Amino acid sequence: MKLLVVAGSMALALSGGLGATNAAAVPSSPSKAVAIGQSFVAPQAKKTKKTKITKQPGSATIGRYGTRTSITFKVKATGTKLRYRWQHHPASGGVWKTISGAKKSKYTAKVSSWSKTTLFRVVVKGKKGTKTSKTVTLTVAYPTNTPAADAQRAFGLTGVTQGVDLSAWQYSTSGKIRMSAVASWVGNTGFTILRNGSGSRPIKTSYTDICTGKANATGSTPVTKDCAYPTLADAATARKVHTGHYWFNGWISSIDTTSSQAFAGGYTPEQSAQQFVALLLADGNYTKASTDPLVLDIEAGSAWTKTVSGKKKTLKLRAWSPSEATRFLNTTKALLTADGYQANLYVYMSANATAVKANGSYLWQDVAKITRLWVASWGTNNGRIPTAQPKTGPWTTWSIWQYTCEARISGSGVGGLDADIAKADAWTPR
Burial class of residue 164 in the structure, from the number of CB atoms within 10 Å of its CB (0-12 exposed, 13-18 middle, 19+ buried): buried
Question: How many Cβ atoms sit within 10 Å of the Cβ of residue 389?
Answer: 18
pTM of the model as a whole: 0.86
Give residues with Cβ within 8 angstroms of 338, minimum separation 6: none
pLDDT score for 46:
74
Percent of the chain past pLDDT 90, that is, above it, reads: 88
Do residues 262 and 202 make contact, with C-beta atoms less than 8 angstroms apart?
A: yes
**Residue 10 reports pLDDT greater than 90:** no
Do residues 363 and 357 make contact, with C-beta atoms less than 8 angstroms apart?
A: yes
Largest CA distance in the chain: 124
**Residue 6 reports pLDDT greater than 70:** no
194, containing H or E segment:
strand 191-198
The mean pLDDT of 364-391, rounded to a whole number, is 98
For 347-399, give the secondary structure using H, E and C.
EEEEHHHHCCEECCEECCHHHHCCCEEEEECCCCCCCCCCCCCCCCCCCCCCC
- Residue 45 banded pLDDT, cuts 50, 70, 90: low
Q: Going by DSSP bridges, is the β-strand pair 303-308/357-358 parallel, antiparallel, or unpaired? A: unpaired
d(CA 77, CA 87): 17
Angle at 121 (CA atoms; ends 81, 56), nearest 5 degrees: 70
Do residues 121 and 133 make contact, with C-beta atoms less than 8 angstroms apart?
A: yes
Can you tell me whether residue 26 is helix, strand or coil?
Answer: coil
Q: Return mean pLDDT, the chain.
A: 92
Which of 19, 12, 39, 13 has the alpha carbon at shortest distance from 27?
39
pLDDT score for 154:
98
Question: How many Cβ atoms sit within 10 Å of the Cβ of residue 42?
Answer: 10
Please give the distance of CA 320 from its chain centroid, rounded to a whole number: 23
Question: How many Cβ atoms sit within 10 Å of the Cβ of residue 92?
Answer: 9
d(CA 72, CA 69): 11
Question: How many Cβ atoms sit within 10 Å of the Cβ of residue 130?
Answer: 12
d(CA 376, CA 419): 10
pLDDT in tens, 163-184: 999 999 999 999 999 999 999 9
First to last CA, the chain: 107
Which of 121, 144, 126 has the alpha carbon at shortest distance from 57?
121
The mean pLDDT of 326-346, rounded to a whole number, is 98
pLDDT in tens, 50-95: 999 999 999 999 999 999 999 999 999 999 999 999 999 999 989 9
Is 147-422 assigned to CATH 2.40.50.140? Answer: no
Which of 316, 245, 310, 315 has the alpha carbon at shortest distance from 275?
245
d(CA 382, CA 428): 30
The highest-level CATH class for domain 54-141 is mainly beta
pLDDT score for 20:
40
Q: Where are the domains of the chain?
A: 1-36, 54-141, 147-422
247: number of CA atoms within 13 Å, CB side? 29
d(CA 123, CA 130): 7
d(CA 426, CA 430): 9
**Residue 125 reports pLDDT greater than 90:** yes
Do residues 234 and 171 make contact, with C-beta atoms less than 8 angstroms apart?
A: no
Residue 337 phi/psi, 5-degree rounding, is: -65, -30
* DSSP sequence for 265-325: TT--HHHHHHHHHHHHHHHS---TT---EEEEE-----EEEEEETTEEEEEE-PPPPHHHH
- The sign one gets for the Cα dihedral 400, 405, 408, 411 is positive
d(CA 201, CA 263): 8
The mean pLDDT of 291-302, rounded to a whole number, is 98
Give residues with Cβ within 8 angstroms of 150, minimum separation 6: 144, 384, 385
Can you tell me whether residue 232 is helix, strand or coil?
Answer: helix
